[in-house]
Structure 1
Amino acid sequence: MAASSFAPALERVLAHEGGYSNHPADPGGPTMRGITQRVYDAFRRAAGQPTRPVRGIADDELHLIYRRQYWDAIRADDLPQGLDYCVFDAAVNSGPAQAAKWLQRALGVAADGQVGALTLDAARATPDLRRVIDDMCDRRLAMLRALKTWPVFGTGWGRRVADVRIAARSLAAGGPAVPVALGGATGGAMPEAGKAPLDSLRVLPRPEAGQAAAAGGLLATACAEAARQVAPLASGSPTLAFVFTALTVAGLLASCAGLALAWHRSRARRRQERSLDLGLPGATS
């Protein structure tokens, strides 16, 4: 069995994560070297130990969390070189399930968020690892750009994904991992899929489509009522006849515009959900 790439992959992840952070715009809250207080608390409780500030996390605890909850969760030791690091880094930031879905979408297999035998077989059999890595990074970047905190952390996130793409490609081709290109830690925790996916995205809520149609309907109703008031007088006045016609046409246009806006927003919503792998039915991996 090939040696695990966990140690060098973790080294790259930690280079991006930096040290301690507690940015007010970061939904992860207090975070030390990429491990949030919530994750650390759960780890300590599971080990039968009292919770403590994540800032005091020990190296052995840090390595164990990354190994068990991220590396092993996406079965990185069973993935091809380069792709293992690409999926691991995505899992650290967006959760193992979301990273697995990006991988499965890139491979063209059922996206259930669990790396199983079919996913591994597809990964090993793919003739173009570079394409799979690029597809994964593209999907990941699309989700990051949709996050409300992109204006705050977007520069670092974008730089991180670019670095992951370059390093993973090099590793997949049998070359060395290029040095981490950093201008500071990337910062900003990204919510895991299934825990806080929609309320943390700049995405049009479904009710807005109905609101758009309703707004168009109200305007159409107002135009129709005005036209009804003008109708009795329209036959005796060319000007009022023109006003009647204009109001009728405006009402029809308002109705059409409301329906078109509702359709556009609904379509944009569905397109974004597909891009981010949200709301997908389960399947066997």
Structure 2
Amino acid sequence: MNFEIAFQRLIGHEGGYSNDPDDPGNWTGGKIKVGTLKGTKYGIAANTYPNLDIKNLTLEQAKAIYKKDWWDKLGADGLHSAIVFQLWDFAINAGKDRAIKELQQAIGFTGSQVDGKLGPATKAKVNEFDLNDVLLTLTAERLKFYASLPTWPKYGKGWTIRVADNLIYAAKDN
């Protein structure tokens, strides 16, 4: 797994420009009707990049953002590449802390151990598990998280398709 492969997979899930007013990510304040409705393009959202001209973002600009702000900053070195992709894709879709917390829960961390930080203890514990067990459990935690969101009725089908595609990638990557 490398960034080029991961990006091609990701961009297959992330569409063109959208300014759906019901999507909190499309608002610069991160909540519906908070801030300015600037939208999302290629998965780059106004709530994360409020000062960016989202509507006119190019694919190459989006790629550079994903490399610098997401791939390079995930800090997943030392983990199997199949887990890295799944974690990275989840982080982009739901936030880095959320994705790491779900990974931590998938490996049995509880309480203060679930801190959203991909530190040495988390990495060591992940590597104690069978790869497929981590992939499947992380995916299950991801689906449970999505289903808990109030926006599930509107966006749940798309999230489920994305996760199903990622399960296919996980089967190929392991």
- TM above 0.5, yes or no, is yes
Structure 2: tracts of 5 or more residues without a match: 27-38
Q: 1:133·1:169 contact (CA, 8 Å) conserved in 2?
A: no
1:88 equivalent in structure 2: 88
2:24 equivalent in structure 1: 27
Structure 1: tracts of 5 or more residues without a match: 42-50, 173-285
Instruction: Map 1:179-198; keep pairs closer than 5 Å.
Output: none
- Alpha-carbon shift at residue 88 of structure 1 (Å): 0.6
Give the counterpart of 1:153 among 131, 152, 155.
155
State whether structure 2 residue 34 is matched by structure 1 residue 37.
no
Aligned residues, how many? Answer: 159
Aligned amino acid, residue 83 of structure 1:
I
- Alpha-carbon shift at residue 52 of structure 1 (Å): 4.7
Q: 1:74·1:114 contact (CA, 8 Å) conserved in 2?
A: no
2:149 & 2:138 partners in 1: Cα distance?
17
1:10 equivalent in structure 2: 7
Q: For each residue in 1:102-138, what CA deviation from the matched residue of structure 2 results, as whole angstroms up to 9, or x when unmatched?
A: 1111123421101011222222332x11111111111
Q: Percent identity?
A: 36
Closer, same or farther: CA 77–63 of 1 in aligned 2, 3 Å: farther
1:17 & 1:9 partners in 2: Cα distance?
12
- Alpha-carbon shift at residue 9 of structure 1 (Å): 1.0
Q: For each residue in 1:7-37, what CA deviation from the matched residue of structure 2 results, as whole angstroms up to 9, or x when unmatched?
A: 1112111110111111122111100000012
Q: 2:42·2:59 contact (CA, 8 Å) conserved in 1?
A: no
Q: For each residue in 1:247-284, what CA deviation from the matched residue of structure 2 results, as whole angstroms up to 9, or x when unmatched?
A: xxxxxxxxxxxxxxxxxxxxxxxxxxxxxxxxxxxxxx
1:143 equivalent in structure 2: 145
1:80 & 1:171 partners in 2: Cα distance?
9
Aligned amino acid, residue 128 of structure 2:
A
Aligned amino acid, residue 6 of structure 2:
A
Instruction: Map 1:1-285; keep pairs closer than 5 Å.
Output: 5-29=2-26, 30-41=39-50, 51-109=51-109, 110-126=113-129, 128-172=130-174
2:120 & 2:52 partners in 1: Cα distance?
38
Q: Output the TM-score relative to the length of structure 1.
A: 0.52
Q: 1:5·1:77 contact (CA, 8 Å) conserved in 2?
A: no
2:92 & 2:160 partners in 1: Cα distance?
15
Instruction: Determine helix, strand or coil for the equivalent of 1:82.
Output: helix
1:143 & 1:21 partners in 2: Cα distance?
23
Aligned amino acid, residue 35 of structure 1:
I
Aligned amino acid, residue 156 of structure 1:
G
1:118 & 1:13 partners in 2: Cα distance?
28
Q: For each residue in 1:46-92, what CA deviation from the matched residue of structure 2 results, as whole angstroms up to 9, or x when unmatched?
A: xxxxx452122244432232123322333234320211111011100
Closer, same or farther: CA 54–81 of 1 in aligned 2, 3 Å: same
1:20 & 1:98 partners in 2: Cα distance?
25
Q: Output the TM-score relative to the length of structure 2.
A: 0.82
1:104 & 1:52 partners in 2: Cα distance?
32
- Alpha-carbon shift at residue 141 of structure 1 (Å): 0.7
Deviation beyond 4 Å, 4+ runs, structure 1:
none
2:32 equivalent in structure 1: none
Bigger radius of gyration among the two: 1
Closer, same or farther: CA 114–52 of 1 in aligned 2, 3 Å: closer
Instruction: Determine helix, strand or coil for the equivalent of 1:122.
Output: helix
Give the root-mean-square deviation of aligned CA atoms.
1.8
